[in-house]
Every structure is written in structure tokens, then in C-alpha cells.
Amino acid sequence: MLPHIQAAGENGSISQHNLGDDYSFWEELGIFKKPATGELSEIGKEIFESIYIRRDGKEIEVLKHLLLTFPPTIALQQYLWGVPEASVAQALTVLKTTGFWFYDSKEPLTHFLDFLNYAGVITYNKKTRAVKILISPDAPRVPRNVFIDPSRPFSNIFWIKRVLRECKGSILWLDKHFQKEGLEWLWSIADAEKITEIRILSLDIGDVNLGSDVRKYFKRFKQEMENKGIKTSWAAIDSKQIRDTHDRWILDGVGYLRNVPNVNAISSGQRSEMNLSENYDEARRMFEEYWLKGIEI
């Protein structure tokens, strides 16, 4: 792939048609711009300049950061971490199983493993076809912007759990149509050493999101959280009281804020984004004002 990065850097762009499946793969990784232009992204330009102009070796850290936030890398880490003598065939199976492989050719996989090896994320022996994961799956942090897409059902859920795991002190979740799947995500990351409080704020639209089965489900969830020392509550607010708010947010107790899609959009893979926001103070005031108007279930 490096010759293609060099060609695009020197000539301004390359013909993506000459690369077939490879191009869409490198575009997805973030080396080339979207939509397809054949031009390097800003990260791609940084890699090109480091390798071919400055020759300072900094491209390795740039690539490592890029790769460690790439969902296919995370899938390989989660499934193959600690697996002795994993093979390329196993790596391909992991990517197919998790919905990340939809290319006609196997070449992108070989080039992907080459890049992971180059960046020190794995070791990849071309002769024996052996793959070894060098960095544990707990390493990557959530990117500022996470794109939700139906072709990535595994990573969509992975990233919302990572967002929740980054919260400290409290998890305050405003989602008008919050659904019980969100409780499962909260349960999976609930760490009483980091979190002392969980508050969920939604509308009450009957059986759609707060039927008797959901209330029982929440009661069990609340009991388990409070047994761990995490105070837990879910309040419903009248739609007339929150008519001036459209988006959904997750915020913590110390300044972390994410603008997120609703629970259903994430679980079903509707195209949307989870974005880091710098408007914490305004969002916290808004949440607390709405909370006072809500009624706990």
C-alpha cells in the first residue's frame, strides 16, 4: 500500500479503480478522503510526509493510533488476544463473523495485516501465515467522532460501551426513547470504583419504552447496581416539558459529554454519529432542569 500512498502524495490523487477492493478498505481506514476522490486524507498526508519527505519514523505512531481505533483491529484484538499460533484464516473468520469483511478479494486482508505488523500492533509471518496480537483489546480510546453504520453491528455496540466506560463519577443519559438494551450496555461497564450514580431520563410512551416488562427489568437492574454501591434511577418527563430539545446525550460527573443517537438507532445500526462535545456546562444545566420535572419510575 505504501507505493499508492506515495503516488497519491506526489500526484495529488490516484485512480481508485486501479486498486479495486483495496481502495475502499484504505478509505474506510481513513488513509484516503471520503467520498471517493483518490486524495489522501489529512492523516494520509501526515503519513506520506513522514515516510517520504521527513523520514522521521513518526508515521508508525500515527498509524498505530489510527489502527487501534479502527473497528476491524478491535475485533481482531478481542477475539485473538492470547490465542497461540493464530492464523490468517482465523483472522479472516473473525472479520467475517463480526461483519467487517465484505470484500471480493483477500488482498485487503494481507495488506491490513502488513500495516498492523508495520505499526507494531501484531506480528505477521508471511511464510507461516501466523498472526500474534501484541496489544490487548483494552488499549484503544474512543475517537472524537464515531460513525454508526449498519455494516458494523459489532463495532456500533462496542463503541457505545466504550463511551459509557469513559464516564467518571456519574452516568447521566438523556434519551427520549431510551430502551432496555441501554441497561444491558450499562450493566456491562458498571464499575463501582469509577461510577457512583446512574441517572436515565426519557419520555414515558407506555409499552413502547416503559411497559411493565421494562419496569421489572429496570427494577432488577437497579437492585444489582445499588448492591454494588451505584445509586440508580430512571425518570420520565412529559413530552411537553422537553419539546425544545432534539438530541440525546451521555454525560458524566466531571466534564465528559457525548452527543449520541438513541438506543434503537445504535442497536439497529442506523447511520448516525457519536460525537465528543465541549458544551458540558450547558448540557449539565439542561439535564438537571429536566430531571426536576421528571417523575422517577
Q: How far apart are the first and last CA of the chain?
A: 55
Instruction: Give ∠ CA 137-150-263 in degrees, rounded to 5.
Output: 80
- All 3 cell numbers of residue 10? 506526489
pTM flag (> 0.85) = no
- All 3 cell numbers of residue 7? 503516488
**Last residue of a domain, which of 133, 165, 193?**
133
Predicted confidence at residue 235, as pLDDT, reads: 96
33 pLDDT band, cuts 50/70/90, is confident
Average of per-residue pLDDT values in the chain: 88
The residue ranges of DSSP E strands in 156-230, in sequence order, are: 169-174, 195-203
Count: domains in the chain:
2
- Residues 121-136 pLDDT 10s: 999 998 999 999 998 7
- All 3 cell numbers of residue 222? 437497579
- All 3 cell numbers of residue 272? 448516525
Shared-domain flag, residues 168 and 71: no
Three-state secondary structure call for residue 171:
strand
With respect to residue 140, please indicate whether it lies within any of the assigned structural domains.
no
Per-residue pLDDT at 139 exceeds 60: no
Shared-domain flag, residues 72 and 187: no
Shared-domain flag, residues 123 and 48: yes
Domain at 197, CATH number? 3.30.870.10
Predicted confidence at residue 47, as pLDDT, reads: 86
Shared-domain flag, residues 86 and 184: no
B/e letters for 260-294, b = 16+ CB within 10 Å, e = fewer, are: bbbbebbbebeebebeebeeeeebbebbeebbeeb
Place of cell 421489572: 216
Rg value, the chain, Cα = 22
- Residues 90-112 pLDDT 10s: 999 998 888 888 777 777 888 88
Shared-domain flag, residues 154 and 128: no
Which residue range(s) make up the domain with 97? 2-133
Pairing state between β 257-260 and 86-87: unpaired
**Last residue of a domain, which of 109, 133, 157?**
133
**Last residue of a domain, which of 133, 161, 190?**
133
Shared-domain flag, residues 108 and 170: no
Three-state secondary structure call for residue 141:
coil
Shared-domain flag, residues 35 and 161: no
Shared-domain flag, residues 192 and 225: yes
Shared-domain flag, residues 71 and 6: yes
Shared-domain flag, residues 128 and 235: no
With respect to residue 138, please indicate whether it lies within any of the assigned structural domains.
no
Section 167-173 average pLDDT = 96
Shared-domain flag, residues 149 and 278: yes
Section 251-258 average pLDDT = 96
Predicted confidence at residue 18, as pLDDT, reads: 63
Shared-domain flag, residues 159 and 128: no
With respect to residue 20, please indicate whether it lies within any of the assigned structural domains.
yes
